[in-house]
Amino acid sequence: LFSAVAVGRAQVQQEAWAEAREGISVHITCSHPSTAAYTTHWYRQHLHQPPQLIAVGVSAGEKAVPELPGSLLIATDRRSSALRLSWPRWQDAAVYYCAVRD
């Protein structure tokens, strides 16, 4: 189970939660249609732990996320992004936050 929470004044929208099975790819999306993000930040928070910054994106495209078996995808118009867990493991179950800076 993956929870996602939106933060910021840019009207960020995220899914309330996503469910995945170990080893089956999942995308956690973040959209902010009214704002083209200058930077996109993704955080992960495990139970009883502080949030941990896991990815920062500045330009459109895809980049690997070393902390996860996956990548960060930023749309060409920079109004949305997705965190792709290509091979999720049980230890990846957490709350995932998206924050943008316009």
Count of CB atoms situated within 10 Å of the CB of 52: 13
The predicted pLDDT at position 50 comes to: 96
CATH architecture label of 20-101: Sandwich (2.60)
| Per-residue model confidence as pLDDT tens digits over 55-101 | 999 889 999 998 888 999 999 998 889 999 888 888 888 888 888 88
Residue 12 burial (CB count, 10 A):
23
The residues spanned by each domain of the chain are 20-101
pLDDT-derived band at 7 (thresholds 50, 70, 90) equals very low
Phi/psi for 13 (5° steps) reads: -120, 130
- The rounded distance, in Å, linking the Cα atoms of 19 and 12 is 21
Which of the pair, 4 or 49, is modelled with greater confidence?
Answer: 49
At residue 16, what are phi and psi to the nearest 5 degrees?
Answer: -70, -35
Q: pTM for this structure? A: 0.79
Cα–Cα distance, 53 to 7 (Å, whole number): 14
